[in-house]
């Protein structure tokens, strides 16, 4: 079996218009490649989401290294804004264009190609496990979480895992993610009494209450950062009354905030703080306040150690760059994997992800495969 070309495999995946939660044949392509190489492949579809579990090696035999990634992508927006077909995987001047080229079909192609070549050339005394979902860009409820549930129910395991998300901000090799901030959103509705703006004493205007609440939340210092995390942030993302009239005091007003938090906090502790702030506004202004919370993920950290050193050594060897260990950025499926085993993230330069004309330098796909292959060789050495 010839070596797997990660660029060709990336192109095949990009041509699948797998806008989350659609699959459009992407996982079938990966399953075919892995099955031909002797991987035991199981579809772990749940809730209408397509997922793939693949393992080379006997279950429970020796140590197990895992890769995690996703084949779903975000919408393309207006296709007319693209200079290249969004699902064409066309290459121009050494650059491949298309939705998912960076986030993260190249990453999946690179670790699939590296894993296949590795088990064929130097069969390890252990297992190589790949978990690939079609629901990272969506709600995440039935994606990697479903794969980990399947593993727990069937005695499957990873002793360490690398998530292949784009992690490098400027150049190939400059950053490894060893943790992520938590993320939560809160929606508020303040309800007062509607009235004529000329007679404000006959109404109970919800707007001053909402403005005070948003100001208190936005001006509050959550923390000053920790050893591995920047300070937590709270952003007011919308305030809306839906009121077109200038002579009417509205009955209600809505707003929302998003919080990215470090290991000083938990979703529960921040929820308790928000409840206290809401109670103060409710009492001070005599209004009703409704609040809805969604916690997308808790903060986590894989302390610098054997796994981060393994990855950093491979990155430096293949790129000549010493990577920074970071916890910056948004959420990823590492937030689920961290409950199963130590996890870090390393992948491509992510500057064009989710943008019009998303693209990847072709040579970097080959480089990424080489890094992943070296990680496997060093791990099982």
Q: Would you give the DSSP letter of residue 190?
A: E
How far apart CA 371 and CA 111 sit, in angstroms, is: 9
Helices 106-121 and 26-36 sit at what angle, rounded to 10 degrees? Answer: 10
358 catalytic residue (yes or no): no
- Residues in Cβ contact with 255 at an 8 Å cutoff, skipping those fewer than 6 apart: 187, 188, 190, 210, 213, 214, 236, 238, 239, 240
74 CB burial (10 A radius; 0-12, 13-18, 19+): middle
24, 103, 135, 136: which one is catalytic?
136
How far apart CA 31 and CA 53 sit, in angstroms, is: 9
121 catalytic residue (yes or no): no
286 CB burial (10 A radius; 0-12, 13-18, 19+): exposed
24, 72, 165, 263: which one is catalytic?
72
Query: If you write DSSP's letter for every residue of 246-272 in order, what string do you get?
Result: SSEE-SEEEEEEEEEE-TT--HHHHHH
Place of tokens 């699948």: 16
Pairing label, strands 248-249, 126-133: unpaired
Contact 54, 118 (CB under 8 A): no
Radius of gyration of the chain (CA): 24
Q: 254 is written with which tokens?
A: 């809505």
How far apart CA 30 and CA 379 sit, in angstroms, is: 23
Contact 157, 151 (CB under 8 A): yes
Q: 196 is written with which tokens?
A: 């004529």
Q: Which residues, in sequence order, are bridge partners of residue 182?
A: 261
Residues taking part in catalysis:
72, 136
């Amino acid at each position: 079996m010839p070596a797997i070309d990660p660029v060709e495999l990336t192109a095949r995946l990009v041509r699948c218009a797998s806008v989350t939660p659609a699959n459009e044949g992407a996982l079938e392509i990966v399953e075919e490649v892995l099955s031909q190489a002797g991987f035991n492949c199981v579809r772990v579809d749940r809730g209408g989401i397509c997922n793939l579990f693949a393992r080379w090696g006997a279950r429970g035999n020796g140590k197990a290294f895992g890769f995690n990634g996703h084949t779903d992508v975000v919408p393309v927006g207006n296709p007319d804004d693209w200079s290249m077909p969004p699902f064409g995987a066309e290459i121009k001047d050494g650059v491949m264009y298309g939705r998912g080229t960076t986030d993260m079909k190249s990453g999946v192609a690179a670790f699939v190609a590296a894993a296949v070549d590795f088990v064929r050339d130097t069969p390890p005394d252990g297992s190589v496990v790949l978990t690939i979902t079609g629901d990272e860009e969506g709600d995440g409820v039935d994606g990697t979480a479903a794969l980990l549930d399947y593993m727990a129910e069937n005695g499957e395991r990873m002793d360490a895992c690398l998530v292949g998300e784009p992690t490098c901000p400027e150049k190939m090799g400059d950053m490894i993610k060893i943790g992520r901030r938590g993320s939560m959103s809160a929606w508020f509705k303040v309800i007062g009494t509607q009235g004529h703006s000329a007679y404000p004493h006959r109404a109970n205007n919800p707007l001053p209450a909402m403005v005070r609440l948003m100001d208190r939340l936005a001006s509050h210092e959550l923390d000053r950062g920790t050893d591995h995390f920047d300070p937590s942030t709270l952003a007011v993302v919308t305030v809306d009354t839906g009121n077109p009239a200038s002579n009417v005091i509205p009955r209600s007003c809505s707003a929302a905030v998003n919080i990215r938090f470090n290991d000083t906090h938990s979703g529960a502790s921040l929820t308790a703080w928000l409840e206290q702030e809401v109670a103060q506004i409710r009492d001070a202004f005599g209004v009703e306040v409704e609040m809805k919370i969604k916690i997308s993920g808790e903060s986590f950290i894989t302390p610098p150690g054997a796994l981060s050193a393994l990855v950093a050594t491979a990155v430096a060897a293949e790129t000549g760059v010493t990577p920074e260990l970071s916890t910056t950025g948004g959420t990823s499926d590492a937030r689920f994997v961290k409950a199963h085993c130590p996890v870090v993230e390393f992948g491509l330069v992510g500057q064009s992800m989710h943008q019009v004309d998303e693209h990847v330098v072709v040579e970097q796909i080959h480089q990424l495969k080489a890094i992943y292959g070296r990680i496997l060789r060093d791990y099982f050495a």
